[in-house]
Structure formats: C-alpha cells, structure tokens
Structure 1
C-alpha cells in the first residue's frame, strides 16, 4: 500500500473515532461497546468451555492478524488475569496498538500440561520458581522461531523504534532455553496445531484441545 493510501486510511480512522466519541452519550456507548467485546474475548480465553476446564496459571500465547500474520507472542504465570488484560489493553500495549476487534486468532498453550512426560532434568527446570524461567524460555524460543512482528522491535527513549537482536539475547529466557528441548518440541507441536485449525463455521468462535485453545475474535459479533 502506498504512503498516500496509508495516510488516507489513518485520516478516515481519526474521523471515525471523532464520530464515535463526539459527545458524552457517544463516548459512554463507545466505552461500553469496546469493553463488552473485550470481556467476551476474555471469557473465551479463560473460562471453561464444553469439555475443557478453565485456563489459569502459566501459558504462552500469541495473536495473529488477518493481514500481518502472527504479530505477538507472550507468556504469563497468571493467565486468568493476563489473558483478560490482553484485549482490554490495561498493562498490555498490544490492545492499544491493534484493536482486538480485528484480531484473527489468539493461540493459548497451557504448557504445564505437557510437563509430566519430560525427562527429569527438564522437569526440574520447568518447575523452578513456579515455572517463571520456563515460561520465559518458551516465549523466547517461539519468538526466535516465528519472528512475530511486534516482538521484533522495542521503543527507544528518543521516541523511535529499534530492531531487537533476539539471537544475541542474554535474557533469562534465552539462557534457560537450551535446557528445555523436549518441552519446546511438545509446545511447538501444540502451537502448530492451534495455528492451523480452521475457524468454526457455527457456534462459539473457540476450539479447545487438552493442552490449550484458540479463539477467533474477528468472529465475535
């Protein structure tokens, strides 16, 4: 798309927001509509559904957009809170950058459900610190493998952006990653399955497996 077309699209977005927030009544209706959507998406990502139990504790997750593809990968030890924040935008920049109404799918892998079959050495690493190091390692490995767009850059104090060199990272996740080859293989298998499963044609916009789920926000009305 040309720079001119992008500028026109930005202007149209700006004008539409002006209409939607153009008075006290409109602003309240806009706030209620957006939170209603975010709350429904939060329910899909965390609540029990059909034969699946609710999502809590450590997970890795990702957001895919219809045009840009996989755009963000993250992890948390408190999925029951963080996955709800994801769409609201509180404590998370993703929802403020890309409105959740246009997200194509959200992938959630509950990696602790994969730990029991690990070699002893990996199981010890996975259980240390309530799984914090493990979650960071899996997040790092997924980011290196998939190169999600919004993880690939970071803000600078000058108001600009710079490219992150993930391969040279000395973060806690990067340092732990080499100790978890079996677990990452299992997470990767689940991730690939959830990232390719077709969206439901009828019923709730959610597909669950024993190790996680995938939600389709753009199918919510």
Structure 2
C-alpha cells in the first residue's frame, strides 16, 4: 500500500470516529472534504469533530432542527399539541378534532392525542334491533303453532288407523250376560227364535 493511500485510509477512519463522513473525494491538488453525519452537527467552528443532535423527549417537540453548527432546539408542547415520540426532527402534533358523530372519550395531553369514540345512545341501532324483534317474534310464534298443530293431527291419524286395523283383526265380542235369553243357537252358530206359540198350543191340546 502506498503512503498516500495509507494516509487516506487513516484519515477516513479518523473521520468516522469523529462522526464525519466523506462528502467528496480528494485529488492530488485537493484533500478529501468531510461533513458531519446526518444525525450530527459540528462541535466547533473548525468542525474537526461532530456530535449527536439532541433528541426531543415525549411531550416536547422540535422547534428548530440542527444545522451544521447548531444543535436541535426542543420546547414543551403547547396546549392543543402533543408528542409521543423521541425525535430530533419532529415537532409537536396538533390534537385531532372529533366530528359531529363522535365525542372526546379521552382528552389530549402533551404526550397523547385526543381519543374519539361514537356518541353514546346509538338510537338507530336500537331501533333496528327492536324492529327486527317485532318482525321475527310473530314469525317464530306462527311457525311453532303450525308445528304444534301438525304433530297432534299426525299422531291422531296414526292412532285411528291403528284402531281400524285392530277392529278388523279382532271384532268385539258380546258378553254372555248381555245376550238375549230368547235367542237360541243352532249347531251352525245361527240364532233361531223359540216357537213359543207352538209350545203353548201343544200344552193346551194335551190338557
């Protein structure tokens, strides 16, 4: 490595350690031109070294950005503004404004924005729910009534059908005590009435 190249490498390392970066390359007639890195500024008018820019903490905003020879200027956020970040470039932001359908649920501060939420009441939503219930409840009631009526009718038809089958297979029998004593039964099972008159007539002739 030549002496001039070694010297340039050394100068670059020194510049980086000092917070500098190369702005333009050197030539045989002109030396390398350095400048402070983006987040730094010169520590003196000679600018042999550069120091970090000051960071504004939350609740403070940048009122003047750092320049080549000046540091960042920070100030507390005024009423109606806030800052919730740490930065060397960002000023305080303005609180948001809630629209007519919203309300301030959480007020703003120096470190937080206003929180907007929908206004309480929700009348349209309640009205929609009530109308839905008024429409659905009668429909459900009618459906339940129809189902309730169909099931007993179906069961009744099935029961009558079963009773009809039972009557065909097993006709009802008349108890013996309910039978007419005036009726007689032949060997074939056909009822024959007694000839009461004939018996009476035969009794008289015999006398």
Q: TM-score range by the shorter chain?
A: under 0.3
Structure of higher CA gyration radius: 2
TM-score (norm 1): 0.18
TM-score (norm 2): 0.19
Choose between structure 1 and 2: higher strand proportion. 2
Q: Whose RCO is larger (CA < 8 A, sep 6+)? A: 1
